[in-house]
Structure formats: C-alpha cells, structure tokens
Structure 1
Amino acid sequence: MSIFPKISLRLEVEKYLKEGFMNKEVVSALGKQEAERRFETLLNHLSHPPSFTTVRVNTHLASVQHVKNLLLDELRKQFNGLSVPILQHPDLQDVLLIPIIGPRRNIKKQQCEAVVGAQCGNAVLRGAHVYVPGIVSASKFMKAGDVISVYSDIKGKCKKGAKEFDGTKVFLGNGISELSRKEIFNGLPELKGIGIRMTEPIYLSPSFDNVLPNYLFLQNLPSAVVTHVLDPQPGEKILDLCAAPGGKTTHIAALMRDQGEVIALDKISNKVEKIKQNALLLGLNSIKAFCFDGTKALKLDMVKDAEGKPPFLRESFDRILLDAPCSGMGQRPNMACSWTLKEVTSYQPLQRKLFTVAVELLKPGGVLVYSTCTITLAENEEQVAWALATFPCLQLQPQEPQIGGEGMMGAGLSSEQLKQLQRFDPSVVPVRDTDIASLGDARIEDMIWLANKDCIGFFIAKFIKCKST
C-alpha cells in the first residue's frame, strides 16, 4: 500500500510522459482507462523503493555461497538478530536478493528533527545512513546522541542551516545523531562521515557502507541482467562506452574470468578514477579505463595506434555495451523531479551519436547491447526503431536471460520485435507492505517473481552486426 504520494513532476514533463504511455498503439490495445491506470500506477511506484536490495557477488574472488554466508552474519548484526532471508537468483547465479521490510507505520516521530536533501533521502530509503553533506537543516538544540526524526526535502526548498522547515517534507524514520547541530553546520568543510545513524528507518534495508567491499557490488537487478545479456566471453575485446561508476564494467570482467580486455570510457575524470578504484578493489586486471568522450571514440584516420588508447579503429571490438546517458526517469525511489521538458528530451540526440560510434567500432558478427534506466518511449523503443532503419547491418536479437517484460508499443515495432526487447516496468505489481511474518510464509518462487517485477524502470535491446559497415 502506498505510503508516499506519486512522483512530483513539472506539468509539461508529466504531460509528455503520459502522451508516450497513452500513445495510439497502447490505447488501441489496452483501452484508454487501463492505459491511464498503468501510467498513474507507474508514477506511484517511482516514489517508493523496490521490494528487494540486489547485490552482485564478485565471483572472480569468491564463491556465491561463501559470500552469502558472510552476508547472513552481517545482516544478523545489522538487524539485531532478526532473520531476513537472502535468495540466490535462479537465472542470475551471481546475484543475491534481500527483501526490504516496510513500510513500518508505527514509528514514533520525535520533536528533534533533521532535514536531508532529496538524493540523501532516496539513499536512506535504500539502507544508507545519513552522511554530513546530506544534512540541510537540524533542530536548534540538537546534540550528539539525540534520537531525531529524519525528513527528506523532496522539492529542494529548505535553506542550508535552517533551524526548522515547514515546506514539503517526507518522514524517513528515526536515527541517532553522531554530531551536534553546531558541529554539522559550523564544523570543518571536509566533514564527510556519518552524521545520523539510522536506527528506525521506515524501510528496513541493509546498509552496504563498507560491507564486504571486495566481494559485493550494490547493483539494481536490471543492471546485472544487462551484462548477462551481453554474454562476454574469455579472451574477447569489449568496450563499455559510458562506463562510470564501473558496476557493469567490473561485471563484464568477472564474467570473462578476467581474461581478455575490457575498455571503459567516461568523459568525467573523477568518475574514471572511481572505475579504476572499483577494478582494484575487486581484483580485476583486464580493465583499462580512460577519461574520453564516447562520441569521439572512433579513429577517423587509419594510422594504427599501438598503445590501445582511444580513439579506436573501426571494427575493433567483439562486443560493446552502450549503457547510455539518459533522463534516469526509472530510478527509484524518486519523489520529485524538477527537470524541465527540454532537459528530459535532450538525451535522444546524444544517444544516437554514441550508438553510431558503437556500430562503427563493432566487428562484423559482434554484439551491441543498448540500455537505459529510463521509462520514456523516445529513449528506448524509438531508438531501436531508428537504429534498425539507420543501420541495415544490425539485427535485433532475443535476450538471455529474459526477465523483464516486452517492449512498449508506440514506436512502430512489430510484436515479434517487441518480444525481443526487455522493459522493466514496476507498475505491473501493486505497491505492497512486507513484514517479517509475511516473509516467513512466502514461497521462494513468489519472492523471485516479485524481485523481477518490482525493481527500477529499465530498458535493454540486443543487436548483432551481420556485416561490415
């Protein structure tokens, strides 16, 4: 049952999204009422966290069973002896699923309050503690050790350092302050540690702050599906065109048993450093990360570059992952998005530039996987229709594993083509409450089904390049 209102969007953005979800093809197939109901359900889901926390095991360093045992011990400590099951995904053997308990509706609100930014609030709903940079406001007399109620300023209206805030805020649960108000706001600018340790969050979800960092990578379920769909093989040369922070890059290297070459590109230098840190942490040596703009990754002259740095010659890669920059409208929880329509629609041209480069860099017979963490028709199915019309050398491929639903109608793709796509749409299940008692009675098959459905909004398409361009 919903505990938060639906995601708050600018009117122009909501109208744009609704037009996509209620296009002629969809309305003709489902009827206007059902299409509208599904759209409203989706907006409601986006403001709530998924039903499961998903972690990927670094199989390069340890077995799934070994890591699962370590994680069970860790969760017992975190949840004060409470026994929460950890499930191994049957189709993604390196993925573990932990059900989220909540929403817990009987938490007593405290007089002492702290307000955090929306991004920090979203992280808290998925198990994080509150770090000092995320705190926007705190009650006048807040001291270290106080029990305080934590709220999210979902619309970004609270002034930094305010003593109280009466604007739109959402209750996230209670925690214990590690610092006083004075230390938080008059302290050293480099204070970056935990400011509030969450003890009674509305959604009880494990914290992965420095938990088994060599063995686990916190990753949404569809993000783990993508790499399995790419199906990298030992000895291949693979390109991750927009790679930061490296979750999929490191997954590619692990599935290849760290044999071969994984090139990771991102145009923001501190994000590239993050990829390198993650590769080091997970003990993966096959990854080479470069700070480079993916739209310029194709080498236009034919002079051979012996160093293996970007830009690259045509047809250099066996497989390419284009996890494209996107409007991110599938991320959860997200209670408010202040983006303008211009910002939301700005990604389609960039995605096409990157896609064109990817097609040129792919060897004949090679595989290209395109993915986004958004729900718009323009960035997903419309891009597939455009790609098939623009590049006769590409063929759409069935995906393995197929965990999401088929693609959405409205871009002129055939029903056969839509079946070859994966669209993860959380609106297909109702928002639900999960408590410890219901977990004890639940069948494993039902829990896996729920984890597959109630995740973030996401899209995957897989192509094969039949002949040289």
Structure 2
Amino acid sequence: MLRRHVKTTGWFLYLSIKVRQAMPVFPRISMKPEVTEYLKSVYINKEVLTVVGPEEAERRFQNLLTCLSHPPSYTCVRASTHLAPLEEIHHQLGEELKKICSLSAQEASVHILPHPQVKDVLLLPVDGPRCVQQLSSEVVVGAQCANAVLRGANVFAPGILGSPKYMKVGDVVSVFSDLEGRCTRGATNYQGKKVFVGNGVAKRDRSSIFCPGEPARGVGVQMVDPLYRSPSFDGVLPSLVFLQNLPSVVVGHVLDPHPGERILDMCAAPGGKTCHIAALMGDQGEVVALDKIRSKIAQIQENAQILRLQSIKAFCFDGTKAVSSDSTQTSEGPPFPAESFDRVLLDAPCSGLGQRPNMSITWSLKEICSYQPLQRKLFHTAVRLLKKGGVLVYSTCTITLAENEEQVAWALHTFPRLTLQLQKPHIGAEGMLGAGLSSEQLHLLQRFSPELSWDQTQTTSLPCRADGDTIGFFIAKFMKT
C-alpha cells in the first residue's frame, strides 16, 4: 500500500500514514435515481461548467459519490481546553488509547496529531480500507450502525438485524450492512443487498439479542478486524475529549464567542456546538440552547454536565417561534424579545447529504428538498433575535446549493442589514458556483467538500491535508449592521 505524506509549514507537521487505494472496497453511495440526477444537476451546473468544463465537472461528481460512502481519513476529537491544557489532554489520551490497544491485542502505537490551525482539536489517522477476509458466518446490521462501525465503533445489540441461527458468545463473525433497509429483524440468512464492513467477535448469544419483549442492550459484536481501524472512544476521558467532526468544531471558532455575551444556539441538539461555545467563552456568559424535541434537551444537559459547563440553559422550544411580540418580556426562557442576543448560531436542520460514511440514502427527492423553507423560517427568527452589530453564523452538514449558497443569496437579498464576514479559521474551500454569488462573496463562505481530498489522493501524487477529507459541510458568517 502506498504511503501518503502531509507536508506543511510553520504550524504544520510532517505526517506519514497509509493512503487509501484507488480501488474502492465497497460501492459508491446508493441512492434513488431521482436523487442522483438532482445532485448531478447541482455539481454540473452552468456556472461550474463554464469554469471547469464538462469532463472535470463529471469527474468531481463521481469522486463525490465515492467519497460519501467512505469515512474521513482522520478521527477528530475536540479537547476540553477550558479544563486542561491541550498538551496534557494529548498525553492523557495517548495513554488511554495505548491501554485499549494492548487489551484488544492491537498495535500499541497511537498517532495523535494537534491540528495546526484549530487549537482545541486532536486528529487520529484512520487505517483503511484494510484487506479483511470475509467469513461464512454473517451478522447483518442497520445502515446507521454500519456507518458507526466504519468510524471505529463496536456493534451494539440494538443495531443487529440478523445473525446465524446458533450464534453464541465468542463466535467470530463477519458484519454486513443492509443497504436497502429490507432485512427483517431476527433473520438467519439475509440475501438482499448488503456490504461487508469487517469481522468481530460475538459478545451475546442470538437468543439474548432477539429476546421477545426485552430490548437488547450493550455490545453485540466487538469489532476486531474492521475495514477501517480507528479508536473507539466509548468511555474514554469523557470530560476531556469530545468526538466531533472537524467542520463542526470550526463553526464554534467562526462564531467567535466572547466572555459575558448572551448567545443563542437555535437548533442545538445533541449539544456539541453548544458546549463548545460555552467552553470558548470560558463558561462566562449565557448560552441558550433550543430544540423542539424534549428527549434531546436531556442530551444537551447531560453533555454540559459531563463537560462541567454551567453557562448553558436548554429549553424545549420551536426555534421558528422564538421571538416574542412583547418587548417588555423579562422571563429567561423563550420566546425572547427582539434583539436579545449578541451572537446566534443557526446550525439548521438539513438533508444531511454531507455525512460520512453513508453507504445508502433512502430518502426521496421531495424529502431532500423540504428543508429550504424551514431553514428560511428559522433565518427570519435568527435575524430578529440578533442585536445590531451582532453575528449570525449559518451552517449545514449537506452539500446542496439550495440549502447553502442559495440560502446566502436569499438572505442577502431579504435582509439588507446583513453583510457577509470573513471567517477565521478558514480551512475549507470557498463557496460553490451556481447560486449567482460574486467571487468576493464566495471567498467569504466556507464549504467542506469530501471529493477534494479523494481527487488529490487518487488521481495525483499531491499531498493531502486533513482539512479536505471531512464530512460535507457549509458555513456562512453574517453581521447585522
């Protein structure tokens, strides 16, 4: 297998890790033809064709489809630098992971790399895709479970859909993902469309996994030989490291919260960005977190407690209704008077097409296109709640124009008082052509596009930076003048 070198200057480190082979281990992402055609129209639009030509546009689109089904080549964790220095967390994490590797008979050498520009991020190179031989004994899991396995998780019992008829604790099995969601729970021999994700050891008997009337809990299969090997962070330094995609960490820094400010996270669950905002403020000020699903509020509160953050106040409330018509209202909870917040984060509900790995998208085109109106309702509320001179950051984890650059163009037209702002750090690409924005405006946007690093890795011998091999993500920063 080839070796890949990441060369950087100044802050950057020289790394050497295994590069992915150009030949994919499993197929490109599976989706309905109408969705594929829709995405193709996005990535091969007239503005793109004018700049790069049809052949290059088509190649980039095909690379994107391949990349989405594979995990990023780095696992990213956010260090709780409000509790301890990065160097200390780095050391403690290394020691913990060495213990885990020794217990599971894996190679004890653990590479942990500080990010050169994002000062509270640690990166762990992922080894894969690896050559793993499939076994005759098969366990079938749901697509979401398989996606987690590809990023280092074990198989938890609730994710298991089918297993060998007489599977018992200690059996070595191959784990497959059900690509079409058609495997009947409790199946013993599934012949539908599936894809191999690695081998593991059964930690539960079949009878206990599919016991009627009692939901299965805990690890069902411990992965010992996965296609992609990366550390499992289950229970590892829970107050000091938080598993989070790199662009999601960048959002908090782009928002740039300051101690003493009042900040709103409009769609906050599960609370990773909320907690990061509070940590960046030194837990001094007020971070209001909203989510319309009550069970998710408990998750935000639990994460805040684990990370020892006191400045977070979480409320179960619909963000589209968060502005009060009564300017004299004084209660601490929603709805709030207009211009109540110094900064607002609108990490909007979206189609999530940038999530990786994602081997199968079963949504219809109608479902994918349903998010734009909701995002605009939330945007209206966000602008009203923002103080004059305040900062609004809009972000999504999707790759469409309609939910990203087109929303920026709409916002600038709808709200003349909003102006685009420079983002720091800016480690992704600029905005995508196709929404009619100027080159200056596109330069101020930040789009993380998964296909970029695959393009570099597989078609040339150029160095590849971790910044490019992330989930698909989009960030825009506005100021209310």
Q: CA deviation at 1:303?
A: 3.1
Residue 32 of structure 2 is matched in structure 1 by 10
Amino acid at match of 2:130: R
Residue 65 of structure 1 is matched in structure 2 by 87
Whether 1:96 aligns to 2:118 is no
Q: CA–CA distance in 2 between the matches of 1:202 and 1:409?
A: 35
Residue 332 of structure 1 is matched in structure 2 by 356
Amino acid at match of 1:89: H
1:45 touches 1:431 (CA, 8 Å); kept in 2?
no
Whether 1:52 aligns to 2:52 is no
Q: CA–CA distance in 2 between the matches of 1:236 and 1:40?
A: 45
| Bigger relative CO (Cα 8 Å, ≥ 6 apart) | 1
Residue 414 of structure 1 is matched in structure 2 by 438
Amino acid at match of 1:193: G
Q: Is there any run of 5+ residues in structure 2 with no aligned partner, and where?
A: 1-21
Alignment root-mean-square deviation, CA? 1.6
Residues 53-83 of structure 1, C-alpha deviations (whole Å, 9 max, x = no match): 0000111222211111111112223333431
Matched residue of 2:467: which SS?
Answer: helix
Residue 438 of structure 1 is matched in structure 2 by none
Q: CA–CA distance in 1 between the matches of 2:153 and 2:211?
A: 24
Residue 384 of structure 1 is matched in structure 2 by 408
Equivalent of residue 87 in structure 1, options 113, 128, 134: 113
1:104 touches 1:203 (CA, 8 Å); kept in 2?
yes
Equivalent of residue 282 in structure 1, options 291, 307, 310: 307
Residues 146-175 of structure 1, C-alpha deviations (whole Å, 9 max, x = no match): 111111112111111000111111111111
Equivalent of residue 313 in structure 1, options 337, 340, 356: 337
Q: CA deviation at 1:187?
A: 5.9
Amino acid at match of 1:123: A
The TM-score with structure 2 as length reference comes to 0.92
Q: CA deviation at 1:354?
A: 0.2
Moved more, 176-185 or 127-136: 176-185
Residues 347-396 of structure 1, C-alpha deviations (whole Å, 9 max, x = no match): 00000000010000000000000000000000000000000000000000
Amino acid at match of 1:62: A
Aligned sequence identity (%): 60
Runs of 4+ aligned residues of structure 1 deviating over 4 Å after TM superposition are: 431-434
Q: CA–CA distance in 2 between the matches of 1:427 and 1:218?
A: 23
Within 5 A, what are the aligned runs for 1:111-150?
Answer: 111-150=136-175
Matched residue of 1:355: which SS?
Answer: helix
Matched residue of 2:34: which SS?
Answer: helix
Q: CA–CA distance in 2 between the matches of 1:431 and 1:280?
A: 41
1:84 touches 1:99 (CA, 8 Å); kept in 2?
no
2:26 touches 2:196 (CA, 8 Å); kept in 1?
no
2:158 touches 2:215 (CA, 8 Å); kept in 1?
no
Amino acid at match of 2:66: N
Within 5 A, what are the aligned runs for 1:233-272?
Answer: 233-272=258-297
Q: CA deviation at 1:9?
A: 1.0
Residue 464 of structure 1 is matched in structure 2 by 479
Count how many residue pairs are aligned between Structure 1 and Structure 2: 453
1:103 touches 1:433 (CA, 8 Å); kept in 2?
no
Matched residue of 1:14: which SS?
Answer: helix
Whether 1:209 aligns to 2:203 is no
Amino acid at match of 2:110: V
